[in-house]
C-alpha cells in the first residue's frame, strides 16, 4: 500500500519506539496517577536514554508536571512502575524516596533558599566535604554555569531571573545527579534571556553528560532543546520521537497543530498521492485511502513564479523577518496561510504562483 515514495526530506535519525533493551536510564511503565477521582496520568510509557535529553511538552493541565514529580519522587504513582538504571524506584516492587534517588531538580522559579546566600545555596548538599574544598567547588560550579564567582556572597533576590535559574542549576549539579529534571525553568524569563539561558544550560548539561528531562509548554523550546520529544495530551503521551520526526510527521492532527502552524486541507488519497486544493501531493505511509485530511507546514508552500498553483492574496500580517500571507485558492475556493520573507510582493488582490515542497502527512478524516 505504501510503495516507494518520492521523498525529498532526509530520513529520521532516531526511531521513536520505546525499547528498554538499549541503554535506558529512566524507564516508565504504565504509570498512572489519580488525584481523588480525577485521572491526571492515564498510562505513561517512556524510556530515556543515558546521557540524552528528553523534552516533555504539552499544554498546561496535560499532566506533564505531575509526571516529573513522580520521576523525582515527590509523588507516588497510583499504578505502574518507575525504574532508574534498572532499579525500581516507584511501583509495586519498591519505593526510593526523593532524597535517595540522585536526581537533580530545577523548579520553575528556581526555588532558591531565600535565607541562604548564593554560595550557601550551591553548597547545600556539600556538607560532607571540607570547608576549603567546598568553596573551591562552589566557584567551579559557578564558572560552569557562567556565573561570576563573586556573586557567591549575594542573596538570591539580588540576582536576575536568569541568574537565579543558573544558581538553581549549579546547586542541582553540586549533588552530582545522574538525572536532571527541569520543570519549565525558562518560562519565567523574558524572551531574549530565555533563549540565552536555555542554550547555556543545555551546553552545561551536555558537558556534564547528565541525562536530562525538560518539561515545557513551549513547543519551540522542546524542539530546540531535546533529542527526544514526548508530546503529552490529557494524561497520555500522544507521540514520542526525535524533534524532526514529531514536527514533520506528527501522529495526529492535534499534535500537528500543537507543534506549530499547520495548513490543513481536505484531500482524496489514492496510492501515495493526495489530491487537494494544492494539486497532487506525495504522502509517506498514508494511513487510509479515499477521504483524508492532509497537513503541510506553511514553510513547505513556497511562492515561485513558475509554480503550478494560483492564489490571490487576501491579507498579510507583518512580523519583521517574515510575513504571513493569507491566500485564496480560486480553483478550489479554500484559504491557506503561507510565510514569505518579502512583504512587498504580497499586496491584497495580487495573484501569486505557489509550489509545494516535500511530502504531506495524511490523517483519517473526522
**Interacting residue ranges for other proteins, rule: CB under 8 A:** 34-36, 72-76, 78, 90-100, 102-105, 107, 109, 111, 113-115, 124-125, 168, 171-172, 174-175, 181
User: Shortest distance, CB of residue 143 to other proteins, whole angstroms?
Assistant: 20
* Whether 46 contacts 19, CB under 8 Å: no
d(CA 340, CA 57): 28
**Consecutive H or E run containing 164:** helix 161-174
Between 76 and 220, CB nearer to other proteins: 76
Between 115 and 157, CB nearer to other proteins: 115
Between 155 and 175, CB nearer to other proteins: 175
User: Shortest distance, CB of residue 142 to other proteins, whole angstroms?
Assistant: 16
**Consecutive H or E run containing 163:** helix 161-174
* Whether 258 contacts 59, CB under 8 Å: yes
Between 78 and 312, CB nearer to other proteins: 78
Between 189 and 336, CB nearer to other proteins: 189
User: Shortest distance, CB of residue 91 to other proteins, whole angstroms?
Assistant: 7
User: Shortest distance, CB of residue 149 to other proteins, whole angstroms?
Assistant: 20
Instruction: Return contacts of 165-169, CB within 8 angstroms, 24+ apart.
Output: 165/106, 165/110, 165/189, 165/197, 165/201, 166/197, 166/200, 166/201, 167/110, 167/112, 167/118, 167/121, 167/122, 168/106, 168/107, 168/110, 168/111, 168/112, 169/106, 169/145, 169/201, 169/204
User: Shortest distance, CB of residue 177 to other proteins, whole angstroms?
Assistant: 8
Between 193 and 328, CB nearer to other proteins: 193
Between 36 and 333, CB nearer to other proteins: 36
User: Shortest distance, CB of residue 175 to other proteins, whole angstroms?
Assistant: 5
* Whether 48 contacts 26, CB under 8 Å: yes
User: Shortest distance, CB of residue 115 to other proteins, whole angstroms?
Assistant: 5
Q: Nearest Cα to 44, choosing from 89, 82, 76, 74?
A: 82
Between 72 and 362, CB nearer to other proteins: 72
Q: Which residues contact 200 (CB under 8 A, 6 or more apart)?
A: 145, 146, 166
User: What burial letters (b/e) apply to 163-187, b meaning 16+ CB within 10 Å?
Assistant: bbbbbbbbbbbbeebbbbbbbbbbe
Q: What pairing do the DSSP bridges indicate for beta strands 334-340 and 273-276? A: unpaired
User: Shortest distance, CB of residue 93 to other proteins, whole angstroms?
Assistant: 7
* Whether 248 contacts 361, CB under 8 Å: yes
Amino acid at each position: 500500500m505504501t510503495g516507494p515514495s518520492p521523498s525529498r526530506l532526509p530520513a529520521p535519525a532516531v526511531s521513536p519506539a520505546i525499547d528498554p533493551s538499549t541503554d535506558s536510564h529512566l524507564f516508565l511503565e504504565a504509570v498512572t496517577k489519580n488525584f481523588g477521582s480525577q485521572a491526571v496520568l492515564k498510562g505513561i510509557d517512556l524510556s530515556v536514554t543515558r546521557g540524552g535529553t528528553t523534552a516533555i511538552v504539552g499544554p498546561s493541565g496535560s499532566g506533564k508536571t505531575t509526571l516529573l514529580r513522580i520521576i523525582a519522587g515527590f509523588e507516588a504513582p497510583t499504578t505502574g512502575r518507575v525504574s532508574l538504571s534498572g532499579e525500581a524506584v516507584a511501583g509495586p516492587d519498591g519505593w526510593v524516596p526523593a532524597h535517595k534517588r540522585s536526581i537533580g531538580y530545577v523548579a520553575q522559579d528556581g526555588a532558591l533558599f531565600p535565607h541562604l546566600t548564593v554560595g550557601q545555596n550551591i553548597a547545600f548538599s556539600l556538607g560532607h566535604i571540607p570547608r576549603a574544598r567546598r568553596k573551591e567547588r562552589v566557584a567551579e560550579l559557578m564558572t560552569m554555569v557562567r556565573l561570576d564567582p563573586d556573586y557567591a556572597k549575594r542573596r538570591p533576590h539580588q540576582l536576575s531571573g536568569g541568574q537565579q535559574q543558573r544558581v538553581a542549576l549549579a546547586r542541582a549539579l553540586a549533588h552530582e545527579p545522574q538525572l536532571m529534571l527541569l520543570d519549565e525553568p525558562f518560562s519565567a524569563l523574558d524572551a531574549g534571556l530565555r533563549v540565552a539561558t536555555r542554550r547555556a544550560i543545555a551546553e552545561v548539561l551536555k558537558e556534564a553528560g547528565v541525562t536530562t528531562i525538560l518539561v515545557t509548554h513551549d513547543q519551540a523550546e522542546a524542539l530546540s532543546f531535546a533529542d527526544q520529544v514526548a508530546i503529552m495530551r490529557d494524561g497520555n503521551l500522544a507521540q514520542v520521537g526525535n524533534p524532526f520526526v514529531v514536527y514533520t510527521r506528527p501522529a495526529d492532527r492535534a499534535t500537528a497543530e500543537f507543534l506549530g502552524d499547520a495548513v490543513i486541507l481536505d484531500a482524496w488519497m489514492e496510492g501515495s498521492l493526495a489530491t487537494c486544493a494544492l494539486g497532487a501531493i506525495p504522502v509517506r505511509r498514508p494511513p487510509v485511502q479515499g477521504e483524508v485530511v492532509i497537513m503541510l507546514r506553511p514553510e513547505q508552500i513556497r511562492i515561485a513564479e513558475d509554480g503550478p498553483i494560483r492564489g490571490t492574496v487576501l491579507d498579510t500580517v507583518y512580523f519583521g523577518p517574515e510575513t504571513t500571507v493569507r491566500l485564496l485558492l480560486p480553483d478550489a475556493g479554500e484559504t491557506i496561510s503561507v510565510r514569505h520573507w518579502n512583504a512587498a510582493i504580497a499586496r491584497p488582490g495580487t495573484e501569486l504562483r505557489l509550489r509545494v515542497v516535500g511530502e504531506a502527512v495524511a490523517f483519517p478524516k473526522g
